A and B are shown apart, each in its own frame.
Chain A
Amino acid sequence: EDKVVQSPLSLVVHEGDTVTLNCSYEVTNFRSLLWYKQEKKAPTFLFMLTSSGIEKKSGRLSSILDKKELFSILNITATQTGDSAVYLCAVEARKNNNDMRFGAGTRLTVKP
């Protein structure tokens, strides 16, 4: 059965710290891995990764995928209180029935 596992489940840091969030997966016929940020309600898209070793970057956030070891990391540098959110990892499989499987998320709290 397809599985997406995120770690840690929760993390508390102080402003300015750097954090690394992990996502490992077991999916048949992997197509892509996506990261979303969920603050109060609707998840919002951060990155989509399809190729190993190519870093995607947006400001202080970056992410990379390792298709051999089946994991991805999301890095946030110089964290700010506004980064506090649940970060969701999702994996899309290349199947006849397409769906996107989400992990349980990592709840990040950034303290001033």
Chain B
Amino acid sequence: DSGVTQTPKHLITATGQRVTLRCSPRSGDLSVYWYQQSLDQGLQFLIQYYNGEERAKGNILERFSAQQFPDLHSELNLSSLELGDSALYFCASSFRTGATGELFFGEGSRLTVL
């Protein structure tokens, strides 16, 4: 158990809908990262937050947004969903923002868009 909690574990929805994925980082970790993993693909970096502020942006679509709240949990919002958004979405946390080092991953939220 990494200490990172993600909910929901599974989510099935229809095209055009909006969903919110939630992540609670390890106790004491200030940085939260979101990754997307499609079938047989590596982890695609989406976005990073540190202590409530956005610090880095990867290949995140405009239809996607995220935030980190004062209690350090984070939410990833996916809207106008398309079939291609079906993937495993991972949240990871670390203590620092620079010299990231080891990331601790949650178990992921599997999104299926029908």
Contacts and interface: CB of A to CB of B under 8 A. Distances in A.
B102 A45 contact: yes
Nearest to B1: A42
A4 B44 CA distance: 11
B58 A43 contact: no
A99 B101 contact: no
Interface in A27-74: 31-32, 34, 41-45, 48
Interface string B19-62: 00000000000000101000011111100100000011110000
Contacts of B97: 98
Contact of A42 (B57, B99, B108): B108
A104 interface: yes
Given A42-B4, A45-B102, A98-B97, 7 more contacts: A4-B42, A42-B108, A43-B103, A98-B100, A102-B42, A103-B42, A105-B42
Contact of A88 (B33, B43, B45, B57): B43
A48 B101 CA distance: 7
Main secondary structure of the interface of B (DSSP, over half): loop
Interface residues of B, number: 29
Nearest to B90: A42
11 contacts: A32-B99, A42-B2, A43-B90, A44-B2, A45-B103, A48-B102, A88-B43, A90-B43, A92-B101, A102-B35, A102-B44
Contact of A100 (B2, B41, B103, B107): B103
A31 B96 CA distance: 14
A59 B110 CA distance: 33
Contact of B45 (A48, A102, A104, A105): A102
B108 to A, nearest CB: 5
B98 A98 contact: yes
A98 B107 contact: no
Contacts of B107: 41-42
B56 A98 contact: yes
Nearest to A6: B42
Contacts of A111: none
